[in-house]
Amino acid sequence: MSPFAAFLFLMGIETLHLRMPRHCENAQKIAEFLESHDSVEWVNYPGLPGHTHRANADKYLTNGKGAILGFGIKGGMEAGKKFINACKLCSHLANIGDAKTLVIHPASTTHQQLSEDEQRRAGVSPEYIRMSVGIEDADDIIDDLKQALAAASA
């Protein structure tokens, strides 16, 4: 790791404990919004009542269920690409834990070198979008998601 990368890493880690409550609160709101949206097939977030591991999340994640969530966008690969390209507030980055909300479509980016079968075995489906929810105003994030979902289904 370069000295500058180490510096940036330390700066982020120093404030993570202060940011996590907001990350978790926002992620819960975003997951609930996505779960109710017609353009979304499924949502994977342990804070949702129907999540397979909700009981474990309640037991072990007592201060919030985390800032990472995944969802499936109706329309598969092409809709996933359109969604990412339409995001304005959410940044298209593979990182996690940033103060900003980050989104990525793994099938067309980080896992594009894999065959479709290899992607599925790695847990990546054509419709999968991963989000690292930031600390912006939750309504601003939701507004961005609404317009990006509309653009993806157009």
pTM of the model: 0.90
What is the pLDDT at residue 95?
82
What is the pLDDT at residue 120?
86
Residue owning tokens 């054509």:
126
What is the pLDDT at residue 145?
99
What is the pLDDT at residue 123?
87
What is the pLDDT at residue 98?
87
d(CA 24, CA 22): 5
d(CA 95, CA 71): 17
- Tell me the per-residue pLDDT of 39-52, one tens digit each, with 9 for 90 and over: 999 999 999 999 99
Residues 135, 99 contacting (CB under 8 angstroms): yes
Beta strands in 35-101 (DSSP E): 40-44, 68-73, 91-92
Residue at 10 is within a domain: no
**What is the helix (H) or strand (E) element at residue 132, kind and residue range?**
strand 128-132
Q: What is the CATH number of the domain that holds 23?
A: 3.90.1150.10
CB atoms within 10 A of CB 105: 25
Structural domain count of the chain? 1
Q: Which residues of the chain have pLDDT under 70?
A: none
Residue at 12 is within a domain: no
What is the pLDDT at residue 66?
96
What is the pLDDT at residue 79?
97
Q: Classify the phi-psi angles of 115: left when phi > 0, otherwise alpha if psi is within -120 to 50, otherwise beta.
A: beta
What is the pLDDT at residue 153?
93
Residue at 143 is within a domain: yes
What is the pLDDT at residue 107?
86
In the three-class reduction of DSSP (H, G, I as helix; E, B as strand; rest coil), residue 44 is classed as: strand
Residues 142, 27 contacting (CB under 8 angstroms): no
Residue at 8 is within a domain: no
- Give the range of the structural domain holding residue 131, as residue numbers without chain letter: 17-153
